[in-house]
Amino acid sequence: MNSKVGTEEQRLGPIRDQIDALDVQILALLTQRAQAAQEVGHIKGGFSSPVFRPERERQVVARLQDINQGPLLSDGIAAIWREVMSACRALEARQTIAYLGPIGTFSEQAAQTYFGHSILGLHCNSLDEVFKAVEKGAAQFGVVPVENSSEGAISRTLDLLLDSSMRISGEVVLPIHHHLLTKTGKIDGVTTVCAHAQALAQCQQWLSQHAPHLKRQAVSSNAEAARMAASDSSVAAIAGDPAQLAYELQQVATQVQDDPHNRTRFVVIGNYACQATGQDQTSLVLSVDNQPGAVYRLLEPLAKHGVSMNRFESRPARKGTWEYHFYIDVAGHAEDVKVAKALEELKTIAAFYKNLGSYPHSA
Ligand SMILES: C=C(O[C@@H]1C=C(C(=O)O)C=C[C@H]1O)C(=O)O
């Protein structure tokens, strides 16, 4: 039979029938999966154990990516199962996730990318509020930005991580593309460009070159800037796709961030201690006495035990002296043998030592 015979509709018809039949089978299997998740929920309920197990979800996805033979791509498998697990998890108990609001922030996108869409979002006005919401139990987890590839560390998050009792249980990296947005897509009559201070900094060269006459005003979030632009025709916002969609704005200019590869790393904070997956990272805060060679000695145990360092960041200790806290991410879980040995030695060397948590590393 010549498969090229017939009109487009005639040829698509049987394939669509096949897809419809497959969807019914997928739904039947998803229903069984959801029932199994409900059973897990009942058992966990009896033991009062946590609903969300990031390391288990990581393993579910990794195993499927491993056996996948295509044509679905690995990213596609991750995206599909993220939502499947999110919906199944919500049957155990819908998780409340705190992040910097309002609707349309990159933090919201990060939360949805990490937890899927079957969550309750708790919109906070500041990073401090996100930490408070999780600390007092109003949310099970929070999602906060920790570093940007153009602008470096989000210092408020680093300070809050140091002071709070929350631990890190996950991370998610998002590409950050900013647009210049107004209600009409035109710039006439606009006098002020609003955005979060971080976004203004990430777009400063573009603004100086293309819109030097606009007054730059920092506001609490890019989404807040978008909300303002939607109601005030003298305001343009710098914000991303989620905010543009949420506030029905038009692009005056697309991708105005100075670095086309601009990315932000977010961490998931909560009370949960992740078990090892074999692909983990551990975040530490350390300080040393102000002596020659102190930082060198601090890093020696890592080198000695073959533990690689993924990040090294310093931040003033805020004591009025020239002392610093070092935020160090190392590869591996704190319970991996070589990491455990290195950390034991680090503890004896460091003037201050805090383990922020071990969690599945986002590749
Ligand atoms: C089903 C479980 O609970 C949650 C849902 C999961 C899923 O749908 O695969 C996996 C881990 C948990 O976040 C479990 O703990 O196994």
Do 283 and 356 lie in a common domain? yes
Q: What's the pLDDT score for residue 319?
A: 79
- Is 180 a pocket residue for ligand 1 (Cβ < 6 Å)? no
pTM for this structure?
0.93
Q: What is the pLDDT of residues 215-235, one digit of tens each?
A: 999 999 999 999 999 999 999
Domain end among 268, 302, 319: 268
Are the C-beta atoms of residues 160 and 127 closer than 8 Å to each other?
Answer: yes
Do 88 and 101 lie in a common domain? no
Do 60 and 106 lie in a common domain? no
Do 101 and 88 lie in a common domain? no
The reply to whether 122 falls in a domain is: yes
The reply to whether 3 falls in a domain is: no
The reply to whether 43 falls in a domain is: yes
Domain end among 92, 107, 128: 92
Q: Decide if pLDDT at 4 tops 90.
A: no
Domain span at 152: 96-176+263-268
The reply to whether 1 falls in a domain is: no
Residue 37 alpha carbon, nearest atom of ligand 1: 1
Question: ipTM of this model?
Answer: 0.93
- Is 37 a pocket residue for ligand 1 (Cβ < 6 Å)? yes
- Is 328 a pocket residue for ligand 1 (Cβ < 6 Å)? no
Q: What's the mean pLDDT in 80-108?
A: 95
Do 84 and 106 lie in a common domain? no
Q: What's the mean pLDDT in 266-291?
A: 94
Which CATH number belongs to the domain containing residue 21 in this structure? 1.20.59.10
Do 100 and 161 lie in a common domain? yes
Q: Name the residue of 30, 39, 57, 60 whose CB sits within 8 Å of the most ligand 1 atoms, as the mutation to test its pocket.
A: 57
The reply to whether 216 falls in a domain is: yes
Do 86 and 18 lie in a common domain? yes
The reply to whether 338 falls in a domain is: yes
CA of 56 from ligand 1 middle (Å) equals 7
Domain end among 49, 76, 92: 92
Which CATH number belongs to the domain containing residue 347 in this structure? 3.30.70.260
Q: What's the pLDDT score for residue 317?
A: 85
Q: What is the pLDDT of residues 33-55, one digit of tens each?
A: 999 999 999 999 888 899 999 99
CA of 38 from ligand 1 middle (Å) equals 10
Q: Decide if pLDDT at 2 tops 70.
A: no
The reply to whether 21 falls in a domain is: yes
Which CATH number belongs to the domain containing residue 153 in this structure? 3.40.190.10
The reply to whether 258 falls in a domain is: no
Q: What's the pLDDT score for residue 3?
A: 56
How many domains is the chain partitioned into structurally? 4
Q: What's the pLDDT score for residue 47?
A: 86
- Is 52 a pocket residue for ligand 1 (Cβ < 6 Å)? yes
Do 150 and 184 lie in a common domain? no
Q: Which residues are catalytic?
A: 264, 266
